[in-house]
Structure 1
Amino acid sequence: MKLLINHTKWILAILVVVGIGACTDKLDEPELNNNFAGGTDFTDASGMIQSTVGAYEAFYSRGWEQPLIIAVRGDDVNAGGLGDQPEFSEMDKFNYSKDHWMVNSLWENIYADVISAHTAMEQIERYQEFGNESEIALGNQYIAEIQVLRAMMLFQISQVYGDVFIPESSDTELLLELESVPSKTEVMQHISDQMDLAIPLLPNIRPNERTDLPGAVTRFTALAVKALANQELENYQIVADATGQIISSGKFNLYPDYYELFKTPGKLSDESILDLQYSDFNQGEGDRFAHLYAPYGPQNWTPAVEGSNSGWGFFEPSFKFIKFMLDRGETVRLETSVLFTDEGISQLQSDPDYSTLPSFVSNTTRDGDVINDFARALFSSGKHYLPSNQLIEGRTAYGSNKNYPVIRYAEIVLMYAEALTQGASGTALSADQAVNLVRERAGMAPISGVTLDDVIDEKFAELSMEWGKRYYDLIRLNRYDELNYDGRTFTEAKTYLPYPQAQIDQFPILGN
């Protein structure tokens, strides 16, 4: 088991009772999924929360490889070299293998968690058969929350693979009866339609305002997912309308300190729209729900807090991104996004245009962690870094206790601005106001007459290293030339990863 929603022993106890293990092969065990709470008294509606928390736990249970596969192909980030996952490094260069275990793991585990979501919704419906009016209404809210989690997973897997399955129940045998694989367009439209059903059933508050399940899904999360799906569909007026509702609500604010946003002080801030939540329960030993952040960390460091573990060096900000940020005069966003080594700094300075660097470009972070040279990369991702002095005493794992942001308000504001530059209308803000709101937090001067290029550059600066958002923007906008950098050659045919051979063997329709 990997995580909770609320940092309490009560939630942990629920997760233990529910007992949904992310590592079980749910796609091979539909009958078990249909009765994972065997013997449950469905006349006791208080049990609905168990099914709901089980769905969140499945959603939070990202294997370490999943976000990396989703994110690694953009020009903002490179796969660390000299690793024990050469096929992952080749993926970053647009050379794909349908037999690579990571390609199969992403598909298999996301669909496993989608099936868990359906199982949970079906369990709640069984409670509703015996519930009173208020219990039925609460069950509808829980189902709507789970629909949002399911939609986010389908969104990400379709971004990666294109045409993918849309399960409609926990019975995976139905997938064997499909005569065609739903297109990416159909998947995104399905997500948008599902969000229309979910939105009126969800609390009209920020995720961090929820007192029952702090940080859980709200109406604004569903609006954000709807906007993301319609951005992929290039339905920019719908994007402007959905993001405009979030902005006009007045509920959200950019966290004032960009550096701390990705660290402990920024957990569940007013900027958070959807996070994967993790916790050490404020204790140095015992129960812990965590994501494995080691792949993002430097292989060699001298932490300010002795004994704190280093990482694997699998995820490296690119020279292209770093130079782009330096050219713009970026300060806090560059400092936050990149952990520098001395060798990385030296290679930057070997280019005469970057011989003189700002003082914050250092191998020592502002929290006193020293990033030493290591074999696999020249830089590491600062957005996945938790300073060793923010680790709870007794915890030594890299990034332990750190949340993983999925959707931030800053992205919503920039999506809104992009929609306006693509011809949509909106009254929440002007495109200039939206972009400058994000720039102000970063200490950048305001600009006027914002164009699409301005917005895409701002998204590059603001959202790089986050879930491949840069890559999918370039793909959506057909800006393929941007991906031809540092010896890479990209073609439109390389947009999607191949279906895993293990899944083609199980579902032959994928091979047609």
Structure 2
Amino acid sequence: MKSIHKYLSTAAFLGMMLLTISCNDQLHEIAENLTATNATDYTKTEDMINPLLGAYGEFQNRGWEDYPLISVRGDDVNAGGLGDQQEFANSDRYNYANTDYWMFNSVWQNLYNDVLAANSAIEQIELYKEFAPNPALADQYMAEAKVLRAFLLLQLSRTWGRVYIPVTSDPTDLFEMKVSTKDEVMQFIADDMDAAAGQLPNLRPNQRDDIKGGVTRYTALAMKALANLELKNFQGVADATGAIIESGLFHLEDDYYNLFKIPGKLNDENLLELQYWDSGVAGGTSLSYLFAFFGPETWKPKVATAGGGWGFFEPSLKYVKFMLDRNEEKRLVTTVIFTPRGIAKIQEDPKYATLPSYVSVTTPSGDVFQDFAREMFLSGKHYLPSDQLTAGINDYGTNKNFICLRYAEILLMHAEARVQGASGSISADEAVNQVRDRADLGHLSGVTLDDVLDEKYAELATEWGVRYFDMLRYQRYDELSYDGRTFTADKTFLPYPQIQVDQLPGLTESN
């Protein structure tokens, strides 16, 4: 996790966020050669990219706890059953009684730290712009930082509802601000992305030469669509996703399994991803998300030296049965890794006494998974086959990227908007069937909202809480009440971390 132990005080925050860096073509060098803003010569406009790279660096240096807390509450995912993170498991079961739980506070601070880092980049680039021979490039860089900020604000408001919308880098502003409603946050994002989109390159992220994989116009439009989806402004969703579809730049990767592995890095399907790397040399350096959170405590990897993990995040039995009922092979074996105990649990239900051969403890890559106490299944989208690790760099998942937004979600959001009455670029049938084609499923006609939500469940399970937020949007609380859980509307948002409530007047008023 990020080493932020208290509220984002000015001294602590400025010490880590006011960044510039020396290399502008590789995001994996983000941590090197940092200098303070007060030493910056803003007439050296060749350095104008440096604050932006600092913002990217903070954005990609995600605390391991961010994603699990955001993603664990849907009926697609369960927390690992045993271990030292009982409050994480309680959150999965909608029990938020312990507001002092460290993960609540850490995720809040991680996300806000990076919002303020993006704001700092915008402020610094504005100072460079005065001297820049190409002011439009400064506008582009500021727009990129705004897209990163939008993604972070989206996660904050989806998780906590009423939150702050800081637009400066001064953390003390939070002491004076009032929180905004979720609708206000989403409208801010939608409006901000509408303005930012016109200042960004008309490219896929992987087509950029200056910042490979950096955000583009279409990343901004994706964020605009997500914000409008939360607002139930379905025409806004259709317009934004339609522009992405009409660009003709994005394509569904045929190899769904490897989309989430090394071959899927900077894929034509991806609109935003956290980028990680290693040196490619045995025993060399690496920068990675801590994928051990998703890994097995015990396994028999094909490459015997590959490391394991903690076992705290598993696809749900409900999801597994849903996919078996659909005879889904490609997406099931990508999303779910089976253990002997998990297979036995499925077969306790007479309906599933005989399972297809693809339900196996051996992955398509030849790694064998064993029983361990915490989980019956493991998250396949967060698994890297042992034979894709660089020799001598053995930590679970190292060198794998982390996808945040991809074209399949764009198509399915477009379909959702269309079945809700919006006009659009393609029909709901066409959008859904493009996704089903990749899954080797037959075409649907007369697609309904139920069809779209089922397709999103199948396609996007275990990804950024999509399923949970879909069920909230349509108040399908019965779907979230499964396996002994009972969901009610008052459980929609996490409680504010107590340490933040104790210090920020706006949170006390909101509570």
Answer whether TM exceeds 0.5 for this pair. yes
Equivalent residue for 1:386, pick from 377, 384, 396: 384
- Structure 1 434/99 Cα, relative in aligned 2: closer, same or farther at 3 Å? same
Residue 28 of structure 2 contacts residue 276 of structure 2 at CA under 8 Å; is this kept in 1?
A: no
* Distance of 1:338 and 1:5 partners within structure 2: 39
Deviation, structure 1 residue 189? 0.2
Query: Residue 314 of structure 2 aligns to a residue in which SS?
Result: strand
Q: Report if the CA contact (8 A) 2:337-2:361 is conserved.
A: yes
1:238-283 CA distance string (max 9 Å, x none):
1001000000110000001111110011111110001011111323
Residue from 349, 365, 380 that aligns with 2:363: 365
Give, as a single letter, the amino acid of the residue that structure 1 aligns with 2:272: L
Mapped to 2, the partners of 1:143 and 1:207 lie a distance apart of 16
Q: Is the 8 A contact 1:145 1:202 kept in 2?
A: yes
1:14 touches 1:50 (CA, 8 Å); kept in 2? no
- Give the match's secondary structure for 1:398: coil
Partner of 2:431: helix, strand, or coil? helix
- Look up the match of 2:395: 397
Displacement after TM superposition at 1:40 (Å)? 1.4
Q: What do the CA deviations read for 1:443-489 (whole angstroms, capped 9, x no partner)?
A: 11111110000000000000000011000000111111101100001
Matched residue type, 1:189: Q
**Does the 8 Å contact 2:206/2:267 carry over to 1?**
yes
From 390, 411, 414, give the equivalent of 1:413.
411
Q: Tell me what 1:27 maps to.
A: none
How many angstroms apart in 2 are the aligned matches of 1:418 and 1:144? 28
How far apart in 2 are the matches of 1:500 and 1:79?
A: 20
Q: Which amino acid aligns with 1:74?
A: G
Among 16, 19, 28, the alignment partner of 2:32 is 16
Indicate the residue corresponding to 1:69 in structure 2. Answer: 69
Q: Distance in 2 between matches of 1:7 and 1:321?
A: 44
Give the Å deviation of 1:347. 1.2
CA contact (8 A) 2:22 2:33 kept: no
Structure 2 regions of 5+ residues with no counterpart? 3-19
1:399-454 CA-to-partner distances (Å, cap 9, x unmatched) read 0000000001000000000000011011x211111000000001111111100000
Change in 2 beyond 3 A, CA 1:7/1:475: farther
Over 3 Å counting, the alpha-carbon distance change for 1:79 and 1:275 in structure 2 is same
**For residues 99 and 176 of structure 1, what CA distance do their matches in structure 2 show?**
20
Match of 1:475 in 2: 472
Tell me how far 1:12 sits from its aligned partner. Answer: 4.9
Report what 1:444 is aligned to: 441
In structure 2, what is the equivalent of residue 41 of structure 1? 41
In the aligned structure 2, how far is the partner of 1:214 from the partner of 1:334? 31
User: Which of 498, 501, 509 matches 1:501?
Assistant: 498
State the match for 1:342 in structure 2. 340
Cα 1:12–1:369 shift into 2, 3 Å: closer
Distance 2:324 2:265 in 1: 28
Query: Quick one: which amino acid aligns to residue 34 of structure 2?
Result: V
Cα distance in 2 between the residues matched to 1:464 and 1:367: 21
3-state secondary structure, aligned to 2:37? coil
Among all aligned residue pairs of Structure 1 and Structure 2, give the percentage whose two residues are the same amino acid: 57
AA of the residue aligned to 2:113: A
**CA distance in structure 2 between the aligned counterparts of 1:433 and 1:281, rounded to whole angstroms:** 42
Q: Secondary structure at the match of 2:32?
A: helix
Does 2:103 align with 1:105? no
Counterpart code for 1:155: L
State how far apart, in whole Å, the 1-side matches of 2:88 and 2:261 are. Answer: 27
Q: Secondary structure at the match of 2:463?
A: coil
- What amino acid is aligned across from residue 336 of structure 2 in structure 1? V
Residue 210 of structure 2 aligns with an amino acid whose one-letter code is: D
Q: Report deviation, 1:174.
A: 2.0
| TM-score (norm: length of structure 2) | 0.94
1:144–1:202 Cα contact (<8 Å) kept: yes
2:176, 2:506 within 8 Å by CA — same for their partners in 1? no
Change (3 A) 1:10 1:358: closer
2:321 is aligned with 1:323: yes
Aligned to 1:95: 95
| Aligned ranges 1:445-460 → 2 under 5 Å | 445-460=442-457
- TM-superposed CA distance for 1:509, in Å, is 2.1
Cα root mean square deviation, aligned: 1.7
Secondary structure in structure 2 of the residue aligned to 1:91: helix
Range with greater deviation from structure 2 (502-511 or 195-204)? 502-511
2:216 corresponds to which of 212, 218, 221: 218
Number of equivalenced pairs: 491
Q: What secondary structure is seen at the aligned counterpart in 2 of 1:78?
A: strand
1:129 paired residue number:
130
Distance in 2 separating the partners of 1:468 and 1:12: 27
How far apart, CA to CA, are the structure 1 residues paired with 2:387 and 2:157?
38
Residues 195-210 of structure 1: matches in 2 within 5 Å?
195-210=193-208
Per the TM alignment, residue 91 of structure 1 is displaced from its structure 2 partner at its CA by 0.5
Give the whole-Å Cα distance in 1 for the aligned partners of 2:142 and 2:342: 48
Name the amino acid aligned to 2:468: Y
* TM-score, scaled relative to structure 1: 0.93
Name the CA distance, whole Å, in 2 between partners of 1:470 and 1:349. Answer: 25
1:57 and 2:57 aligned? yes
Q: Go from structure 1 to structure 2 and tell me whether the alpha carbon gap of 1:11 and 1:484 turns closer, same or farther (over 3 Å shift).
A: closer
The DSSP-based 3-state class of the residue aligned with 1:274 is strand
Counterpart in 2 of 1:146?
A: 145
Shift, 1:176, TM fit: 1.5
Counterpart amino acid of residue 137 in structure 1: A
Residue aligning to 2:155: 156
State the Cα distance separating 1:208 from its structure 2 match.
0.5
* Partners of 1:265 and 1:7 in 2: CA distance: 25
Equivalent AA in structure 1 for residue 104 of structure 2: V
What residue is the counterpart of 1:166 in the other structure? 165
Letter in 1 for 2:372: F
The question of whether the paired residues in 2 share the 8 Å contact of 1:221 and 1:274 is answered with: yes
What residue in structure 1 maps to residue 12 of structure 2?
none
Cα drift, residue 14 of structure 1: 5.6
Kept in 2, the 8 Å contact 1:369–1:388? The answer is yes
Q: Summarize the Cα distance change of 1:5–1:185 in structure 2 as closer, same or farther, 3 Å threshold.
A: farther
What is the CA distance between 1:129 and its match in structure 2?
A: 1.8
